[in-house]
A and B are shown apart, each in its own frame.
Chain A
Amino acid sequence: MSVQSEAPALAGGGMVRPVGTITDIATVARRSVRSLLREPEAMAPALIIPTFFFLVNIGALESFVERSPGIDYRAFQIPVAIIFAVTGISRASVLVIDIQTGYLDRMLVTPVRRTTLLLGMMVADVVLAVALSLVVIAMGFVAGVRFGTGLLGILLFLGLAVAWSLAFTGFPYTVALRTGNPAAVNSSFLIFFPFAFLTPAYLPRELMTGWMQTVAAWNPVTYLLEGMRSLLSAGWDAAALGKGAAAIGGLGVVTFVMAFRSLARRVATG
């Protein structure tokens, strides 16, 4: 039997009312996006690193790799740049501060839905991932990269990048919620390196050899890169896109289960 609660009246004559999940997400996201906009400097490393690697990789390898027929190395490198830009960005460092200062407790004594505390922060992560991706795509255009799949391809490319970014955020949030330690959250960036480099980031998979090729075959980023590259050069390749989406989905399921379990543990009252 459900019981309608007698919500306490406010001095202003109003009533505190239960609100929906979307409203709770919007409330938490509003704060997260606002604090994001107040630290534009936080975007700098996320842009400097991919730009640096893009320029260096092209400078070092473009003429060498383009000896193989059919490779536009600048287009080949743009997905790498975008993955470097958006992987590991999250509001996990803010979440750690909230845990340490007790602000998380302040939110937990309100009726806000617990899961929306994380989902709201992820909205800000998506906003940042979109902004970073657009900058990198613009950099690609300046470098002469064109999308063989047109505007829809660009949107899908952006969508894959942002979805990947979101799927990866589960790692830093898990570390933040499990440890409550800022140093641990900063270190969680390290997990990015095997994901990013044990892949066909520099050379197509068929040119890779030995154990690297084997490891790359098991790395979800390989399929993400190949799916994104297909949008630039190969035209519509459903198989490549499907594998890329599956890689994102697979990782996302793992990291989100970890993150939301960690949240449940953190807010558990037991």
Chain B
Amino acid sequence: MPRNARSGDRNSAIETRGLVRTFGENRAVDGVDLGVNAGEIYGFLGPNGAGKSTTVRMLCTLLKPTAGQATVAGYDVVDSPGEVRIRIGVALQEAALDERQTGREILDLQARLYGLSAFDRAASIARAVDLADIGSAMEDRVKTYSGGMRRRLDLAASLIHGPEVLFLDEPTTGLDPVSRAQVWDEVRRLNGELGVTVFLTTQYLEEADALADRVAIIDGGRIVEEGSPAELKRAVGADVIVVDLPSEAIAPAAAVAETVPDVDAVTQGRRGITIATADGAATVGSVAVALAGAGLHPQSLTVRTPSLDDVFLLATGYRMSTVDPTAAGGGPAAGGSDPHAGPAGAPASEGSSPR
């Protein structure tokens, strides 16, 4: 088969086998296998430095893999980068725009870079102007734009040539809640109406939960979990019991909780333990009794449904611990309700002991 030929499976938008990228001694991406179907929104979830952006840069032909293989829109990213480039749209982290140009000029430049004819250019720019939805600001220089306006323009520019696969690298990082909701709506619309495959990296659990058909969780350059958000959460258990405890009581409490019938897994956090179980309402009483019997007195006991952060915790042994400014009450991204998430920037060290 010629080196720049499209591979057989038209239903596969992205496929990687053993993808590796090293920087010196650091294996930023360490054997990633992915399979993204055409037409799906695929969430690539992980904390800062997990290898998300490096993976995206390889898939977008900006970076060569050290080892392994990757095809995007049916073409190998190393052998046929040109074929890949005309089929993908890319909005990298921190909307990259030329501040001295107007929004319209940026869209025009983008259309020309893809070699659109004058006729197609006019139609594509008109569509992109609608998509960006920034009104008369389209004629203003980008330096006058807000963060949300930049993101929308960036997104519109990345779609100017009608790509088959759209890469969004942390598209809502740093956005206010309203702008974030607009980007989410747009991603859903692009996927739903135009059938664009979306590969979305995010460090926001709720973003992956809300948008993605399937999610891969990456940590330390490796995929640690993959599945639909519902499947992944189901794997944790139907319910989660969060037990707040003084620090000296955490280890003994975990040991006691593991003996309680119907407890599937116990994970220790900095401020307590998290218990996965099939029926939280039925089990919480037994947990409370067992702890009291051992002379341990929880500060609080809460039953809730599992979040993707619980999935992450179970897979990696620590929480993502990202403070999401749009989460309710400005709390952690893991649903805002999780008292065991650590502070921003530093993963809370937690131990997991699934039974």
Instruction: Check A34–B113 contact: CB distance below 8 A.
Output: no
Contact assessment for A109 and B94 in the assembled complex, using a CB-CB cutoff below 8 Å: no
Task: Say if the beta carbon of B188 comes within 8 Å of chain A.
Answer: no
Alpha-carbon gap, A16 to B85, bound state (A) = 11
A110 near B114: Cβ-Cβ < 8 Å: yes
A103 vs B85: C-alpha distance when bound (angstroms): 16
- Give Cα distance in the complex from A10 to B73, angstroms: 15
List the A side residues contacting B174 at CB < 8 Å: none
Residues in A with CB closer than 8 Å to B289 are none
Q: Mark A7-27, 1 if CB is under 8 A from B, else 0.
A: 111111011111100011001
- Min C-beta distance of A6 to chain B, whole Å: 7
Contact indicator A6/B90 (Cβ below 8 Å)? no
Flag whether A214 is at the interface (Cβ < 8 A).
Answer: no
The answer to whether A242 has its CB under 8 Å from any CB of chain B is no
* Count of A-B contacts judged by CB separation below 8 Å: 120
Query: Shortest distance in angstroms between A119's beta carbon and chain B's nearest beta carbon?
Result: 14
Q: Which residues of B contact A34 (CB under 8 A)?
A: 101, 105
Nearest opposing residue in chain B for A3, CB measure: B2
Chain B residues near A17 (CB-CB < 8 A): 115-117
Beta-carbon contacts of A259-270 to B below 8 Å, as 1s and 0s? 000000000011
Across the interface, which residues of B come within 8 angstroms of A35, CB to CB? Answer: 98, 100-101
Q: In the complex the two chains form, is B90's CB within 8 Å of A106's CB? A: yes
Which chain A residue lies CB-closest to B94? A102
Chain B residues with Cβ under 8 A from A2's Cβ? 2
User: A35's closest neighbor in chain B, by CB?
Assistant: B100
Q: Contacts of B4 on A, CB cut-off 8 Å?
A: 3, 5
Across the interface, do B115 and A31 meet the contact criterion of CB distance under 8 Å?
Answer: no
Given A8-B163, A9-B162, A31-B105, do A14 and B116 touch, yes or no (CB 8 Å)?
yes
Contact flag A23-B98 (CB < 8 Å), given A10-B161, A16-B86, A269-B61: no
Min CB gap A15→B, angstroms: 8
* Contact partner, A14, options B62, B63, B120, Cβ 8 Å: B120
Q: Is B83 an interface residue (CB 8 A)?
A: yes
Interface flag for B123 (CB, 8 Å): yes
Confirm or deny: B175 has a beta carbon within 8 angstroms of a beta carbon on chain A.
no
Does A101 sit at the interface, judged by CB under 8 A? yes
Interface string of B152-184 (1 = CB under 8 A from A): 000001000111100000000000000000000
Q: Are A109 and B88 in contact (CB under 8 A)?
A: yes
Report the bound CA distance from A3 to B194 in whole Å.
28
Fill in one digit per residue for B45-63: 1 if any A CB lies within 8 Å of its CB, else 0: 0000000000000001111
> Smallest CB–CB gap between A14 and chain B, Å?
3
Q: Interface centre among A6, A27, A109, by most B CB within 10 Å?
A: A109
Q: Tell me whether B87 and A8 are in contact (CB under 8 A).
A: yes
CB contact under 8 A between A270 and B82, given known A16-B161, A105-B96: no
- For residue B112, give the distance in angstroms from its CB to the closest CB of chain A: 4
Residue of B nearest to A106 (CB): B96
Known contacts A101-B97, A102-B96; decide if A10 and B115 are in contact (CB<8 Å): no
A83-137 with Cβ < 8 A to chain B = 98, 101-103, 105-112
A270–B100 CB distance below 8 A: no
Beyond A3-B5, A14-B123, whether A109 also contacts B100 by CB under 8 A is no
Q: Check B110 for interface membership: any CB of A closer than 8 A.
A: yes
User: Any chain A CB within 8 A of the CB of B93?
Assistant: yes
A38 in contact (CB, < 8 A): yes
A30 interface residue, CB < 8 Å from B? yes
Chain B, Cβ-Cβ closest to A39: B100
Residues of A contacting B99 in the complex (Cβ-Cβ under 8 angstroms): 101
Which residue of the partner chain B has the closest CB to A19? B115
Can you list 18 A-B pairs, Cβ within 8 angstroms, ordered by A? Answer: A3-B4, A8-B163, A12-B119, A15-B120, A17-B116, A30-B109, A31-B98, A34-B101, A35-B98, A101-B94, A105-B62, A106-B157, A107-B113, A109-B85, A110-B114, A111-B85, A111-B114, A111-B115
Q: What 7 A-B pairs have minimum CB-CB distances, sorted nearest first?
A: A14-B120, A102-B96, A19-B115, A12-B123, A110-B113, A10-B162, A269-B64
Known contacts A8-B163, A109-B88, A269-B64; 12 further A-B pairs (Cβ under 8 A): A1-B2, A8-B164, A10-B124, A11-B194, A12-B127, A16-B115, A23-B112, A31-B101, A35-B98, A35-B100, A110-B110, A111-B113
